[in-house]
Copies of this chain bind each other. A is one copy, B any other.
Amino acid sequence: MITGKDGTKIPRIVIERLPRYYRYFDWLEDKVEKISSKKLGEYMGSSASQVRLDLSYFGDFGQQGYGYNIKKLKRELENILNINAETTFIIIGAGNIGRALTRYRAFRDAGFTLKAIFDIKPVLAGEKIDGIIIHHVREMPDYIKTHKIDIGIIAVPKECANETARTLIDAGIRGILNFAPLDLNVSSTFTVENIHIIDKMLALSFIISSDSANG
């Protein structure tokens, strides 16, 4: 359970909104000094009271009738989100998605360091992508333990995703970002975030076809 400054449980949905707050503060930092909860709500697509409630979990940042100090709140969110700590991760699966993620610059800017890639194909072992070595997946458990890896990104076909997750968890990984198109069969106390590209496309497709049917 994740608790805020006063010991209340922080809902997962609030946690998932924090990076968006952070992005707005980062963008606003050079533009204005303060921002009201109302204005911030407009950016976030939510209400002023939702903003006040979300941020209240982490301390008393705002001042009634004055607004939030952007620089200060940005710094606080940096600490909360661990942005200046080095978080290490590995990518499992050196296919299209895994390779694209290896070259994705934004990880480093946000404090994430890619340490290695793993793949089941022996022929790929030893190959480098942007300076990062591909290892055979059988070396993964030892690597995670030795290098104290925090996060594993699963970019393998769905048929191997659950086995990969089990290996990661047994080796002591602390969180998984899953790109495989299924919900991993792991304990509900273990931390997984999913990126389900096809689900997003299907939701889009449903909304646009309903819009034309209704309009």
Name A residues whose Cβ lies closer than 8 Å to a Cβ of B: 1-3, 15-16, 18-20, 22-23, 27, 43, 45, 80-83, 85, 87, 89, 96-97, 99-101, 103-104, 106-107, 110-112, 150-151, 174-177, 181-183, 188, 191, 193, 195-212, 214
Whether the Cβ atoms of B175 and A208 lie closer than 8 Å is yes
Contact of A103 among B96, B107, B177 (CB under 8 A): B96
Whether the Cβ atoms of A191 and B207 lie closer than 8 Å is yes
Contact of A204 among B103, B175, B209, B214 (CB under 8 A): B175
Whether the Cβ atoms of A82 and B177 lie closer than 8 Å is no
Whether the Cβ atoms of A175 and B22 lie closer than 8 Å is no
Chain B residues closer than 8 Å to A103, beta-carbon distance: 96
Since A81-B206, A82-B206 are in contact, a sample of 11 more A-B pairs with Cβ atoms closer than 8 Å, ordered by chain A residue number, is: A20-B196, A23-B183, A87-B201, A106-B198, A110-B198, A111-B205, A151-B205, A174-B212, A177-B204, A191-B207, A193-B200
Copy total for this chain: 2
Chain B residues closer than 8 Å to A191, beta-carbon distance: 204, 207-208, 211
Chain B residues closer than 8 Å to A199, beta-carbon distance: 16, 19-20, 23
Chain B residues closer than 8 Å to A201, beta-carbon distance: 87, 89, 107, 110, 112, 151, 177, 193
Whether the Cβ atoms of B214 and A1 lie closer than 8 Å is yes
A197, closest chain B residue (CB): B195
Whether the Cβ atoms of B82 and A197 lie closer than 8 Å is no
* Smallest CB separation, A201 vs chain B (Å): 6
A20, closest chain B residue (CB): B199
Chain B residues closer than 8 Å to A188, beta-carbon distance: 45
